[in-house]
Amino acid sequence: MNRCEYCLEHLSSYIDGEMSENEMKEIEEHLKECNSCAYEFNILKTIVSTCSELEEELPDGFSSSLHTRLEKAQADLLAERKRKGKIKVFSQIAAGFILVVTLGFAIRSGFFGGGLVDGRLMSGSKSAPDAAPMAKGPSVVEFSAPKVSGKKAGESTGAAEDGVKNESFATAQGVADAGEQPDNKESEFTIQFSEERAITSSKVKYDTEITIIVDDIGKAIESIMAIDEKVGKSRESNTAYLQDSIQAYRGSTRSNVVELKLVYTSEKVEQCFIKEILSAFPDTQVDSVPSADKDETEDDEEAEEEYIKIIIEKKK
């Protein structure tokens, strides 16, 4: 490559000052000696400096329409959180009902395996842990509620019936499995559990529920974010979950309880996270609850994830 070729090849970097001092000097020397390269340099230099002067002013009203959009974005985030909150409250009302009905049918249909079956309700919920370990304390398990249909079902469902259809709920005192969707054509209120389903649910994965009592919820959330970041390998959605909670918390009502939902890609990472949480917060209770077959029809890709629910309560 002769000097002119070399020079023209590197004019662009020369103009930007993106080369070593020696290289800069070399080009500079050549431009002094070579008219044709100097001419090319001037053309390119003019173009580049014009490019950098192309910046235009913001259109009128840009800031005010932006402000409107930001407010809407903020409102959407809060509304989303509120919507989730409403489902939550309702689900707890429905919980008692679901517990009784589901457990009853689960036992009748042999769901808990060997010891408990024969269509008789043996000893209520306390007999369940043989097959699936139960949570201590007020654990909450989400699952897909069986569809209730037919008038006969109405009698036993009472006030809660309306909400039972197609919604996802939580039950208190973890019921291991809600089972499959019942056959809607049946007017009798029956739920079929398949053999296969019963086997898989005995190897149930665990969700974890962590209750933390703190003085300052805002600070606690920040610490949890920091831990989430430190542990790494969390799903990207954790940030969204956390943001969502924080915005709801700082937004309309400053409540004394905040719930966070986190997802980790493996149990190992999850354990690591819990360990960090335990060392960061003195007043912490960790419960493992069996993960129910929840409403994963919509969320299949998350079926393999480990969920952690964190409840932060303000110290009274």
Partner 1 sequence: MDATEKRLIELSVSGDIEAFETLIQSHQKKVYNIALRMTKNHEDAQELAQDAIVRAFTSIGKFRGDSSFSTWLYRITMNVCTDFLRKRSKAVLISMEQGAVANDNQQAIQIEEEAPGPDELAEKNQLKKLVRDAMDSLSDEHRQVLIFRDIMDMSYKEIADTLNVNEGTIKSRINRARAGLKKIIMQRSELFQDYVVKYKRKGGNS
Q: Which residues bind partner 1 (CB under 8 A)?
A: 9, 12-13, 16, 18, 38-39, 41-48, 50-59, 62-63, 65-67, 69-71, 73-74, 77, 218, 225, 229, 236, 239-240, 242-243, 246-247, 250-251
Nearer to partner 1, 31 or 116 (CB): 31
Question: Rounded to the nearest whole angstrom, what is the least distance from the CB of residue 139 to partner 1 in the complex?
Answer: 28
Question: Rounded to the nearest whole angstrom, what is the least distance from the CB of residue 273 to partner 1 in the complex?
Answer: 18
Question: Rounded to the nearest whole angstrom, what is the least distance from the CB of residue 54 to partner 1 in the complex?
Answer: 6
Nearer to partner 1, 133 or 218 (CB): 218
Q: Please report which helix (H) or strand (E) contains residue 224, including its range.
A: helix 217-231
Nearer to partner 1, 19 or 99 (CB): 19
Residue 143, SS3 per DSSP: strand
Nearer to partner 1, 46 or 123 (CB): 46
Q: 142 in the Ramachandran plot: left (φ > 0), alpha (ψ -120 to 50) or beta?
A: beta
Question: Rounded to the nearest whole angstrom, what is the least distance from the CB of residue 40 to partner 1 in the complex?
Answer: 9
Question: Rounded to the nearest whole angstrom, what is the least distance from the CB of residue 93 to partner 1 in the complex?
Answer: 30
Contact between 94 and 160 under an 8 Å Cβ cutoff? The reply is yes
Contact between 265 and 305 under an 8 Å Cβ cutoff? The reply is yes
- Which residue blocks in 109-216 are alpha helix, DSSP H? 151-157, 161-164, 195-202
Contact between 157 and 150 under an 8 Å Cβ cutoff? The reply is no
Nearer to partner 1, 21 or 196 (CB): 21
**Which residue in 300, 307, 263 sits closest to 141, CA to CA?**
307
The residues that bridge with 308 in the sheet, in sequence order, are 208, 262
